[in-house]
Structure 1
């Protein structure tokens, strides 16, 4: 959670100047891109090159070693055949630059990177066929198995014990529950947290650890049309939530966000699960906790979005995108219950795998 006033607020003219000064590029087009607490711009230079200028919020910018690991992880995935962005060096050869500027709240420092632009549209705009959901699960599992091989002197920065978006830290949501006062949703969230305490915490030592992307969501996965009239994944974006977690967390996060974009949310889990298990079959403890972990991610999304709105009321529409879609799905999953949802997911995953 970035602090209030941490989000940068550059003008287009500032972007043009920065791209010229840092990267020696003359911008012919600059367009703002949506973002949670950073600022992103689509930039085209006079020679037709396409880039994304990413300005990190001032809070996250205080941790250059973490940003360095995230930037390296993107390169490492790219080198290993996954479609991740890579950072372009500045004219002095650095992959990132700490820039001091005033965005209206006094002088602050913001970390700036210029990333390659990946073609495609967000998966939120594509029809989520079972095949595309399968590819999503498979890609997420491949990503985590590749990241597990990564070596870097600052790798320890990913042990982010207090990171509010880590699925290990569901219990810390209790401090934010007051933002749901008076809403029926609050009782559901409290119940999920209780389930997490009683069913996930005792089994967590059986989860296999890894490095998580941590935000494999419907706006961070890009797709392009493929030869068979379907879509293929063409990009994985935004490594700002990377942290040391568990394989099962990545799967739970992917299922939860794909449910948001599907007309029949409960049908999503099976295909994503089948794709995931084609790379990395779950162990018994992971299988048993998947339902509660998916619900836990819905709770994080809903509670933290409501909290962010109290900090940034002017950005309500963007902050509440996921939350508005997620609330009815969370209610639905909770009412159906663990046994019915898991039966649905695991049976359809088995059928899907049999057809492969």
Structure 2
């Protein structure tokens, strides 16, 4: 989370030239896609098909080994039947390439990949029926279970000790909390961080370890209509936050982001939990910590979005999407309290599973 994390800003003609030169494809159409701190273009070449040109920010581009593991993980998940993008090799056979580009303020090095395009719309645009929420929980659990089987020589790089978005590092938020000065939300966030310290950290040794996607959010999950007038999951995007964590972290992240898109957010937890437990039942300690972990993810999202706006005011609208909705949901969850929320989630999950 630093100003050095320079977001690339290529012109369309620069991006088009790059696709021709690196991948031997001639773009017929190109359109920009939204992104947090990278730059993405949807590319439709004359040769057919659709792709996403992904240009990583300059800071992440320095970590070649991490990008290599992420790209490999996508391929591994794809081979195991999950709807994930894969990288197209360059004309010289590389899955990613480091390019020196001048976006208007001097040359910087950016890692570039061309990924397959996945059809569908983001789950944020679909009606979140209990069935779709169940599928979302189930897919997140399947993904982490498959990732746990993955072997790679650089796997240890996913430890990412001070990675600010890891749910293992919630206490790092204390270094950013001053962005909430004067906001009544600051006291709520401080209280949640304290609950995290007293109830999550001492129990972590009982969580089951795994590799997390780490950002299974409402803009990173794609859906398409199915034959039953509902929706099915057609894509999982953006492996930039992958890290070594715990199964319960992925579940908490999934619940939190699905709550953002639901007219009655409290109802989300049950079906997502039922879907998750159809693949990976929780142990008692994991159940006990779920509420605080969901709230902790809200805190990460709100505090870091507010901080990012101070660095990139021009990108405020995109950065604050989650934040605006999230404040109200976090306050509601906090007011209801752990006992009330857990009762709703776990009873609803049990009823949902009984109907299956």
- TM-score normalised per structure 2: 0.99
Tell me which residue corresponds to 1:34.
34
How many Å separate the matches in 2 of 1:4 and 1:219?
A: 25
Give ranges in structure 2 of 5+ residues lacking alignment: none
For the Cα contact (< 8 Å) 2:295–2:330, is it kept in 1? Answer: yes
CA contact (8 A) 1:99 1:109 kept: yes
Q: Within 5 Å, which residues of 2 pair with 1:340-355?
A: 340-355=340-355
Q: Aligned runs of 1:128-147 on 2, under 5 Å?
A: 128-147=128-147
CA contact (8 A) 1:39 1:56 kept: yes
1:51-130 → structure 2 map (5 Å cutoff): 51-130=51-130
1:2–1:37 CA contact under 8 A, matched in 2: no
Instruction: Give the structure 1 partner of residue 221 of structure 2.
Output: 221
Cα distance, 1:5 vs structure 2? 5.9
Q: CA deviation at 1:104?
A: 2.3
- How far apart are 1:102 and its partner, in Å? 1.2
Is this contact kept in 2: 1:167–1:249, CA < 8 A? yes
Secondary structure in structure 2 of the residue aligned to 1:42: strand
String of CA shifts for 1:136-182, please: whole Å, max 9, x gaps.
Answer: 00000000000000001111110111100000100000000000000
For 1:175-190, what aligned pairs fall within 5 Å after superposition? 175-190=175-190
Aligned mates of 2:202, 2:301 — CA distance in 1: 24
For the 8 Å contact 2:61–2:110, the answer to whether it is kept is yes
Q: Distance in 2 between matches of 1:186 and 1:23?
A: 48
Secondary structure of 2:176's counterpart equals helix
CA contact (8 A) 1:85 1:116 kept: yes
Q: Could you tell me which runs of 5 or more consecutive residues in structure 1 were left unpaired when the two chains were aligned.
A: none
| TM-score, structure 1 as length reference | 0.99
- Cα RMSD between the aligned structures? 0.7
SS in 2 for 1:232: strand
Distance 1:352 1:134 in 2: 9
Tell me which residue corresponds to 1:201: 201
Q: Is 1:47 aligned with 2:47?
A: yes
Report if aligned partners of 2:298, 2:330 keep a CA contact under 8 Å in 1: yes
Instruction: Tell me, yes or no, if the aligned pair for 2:136 and 2:233 is still in contact at 8 Å.
Output: yes
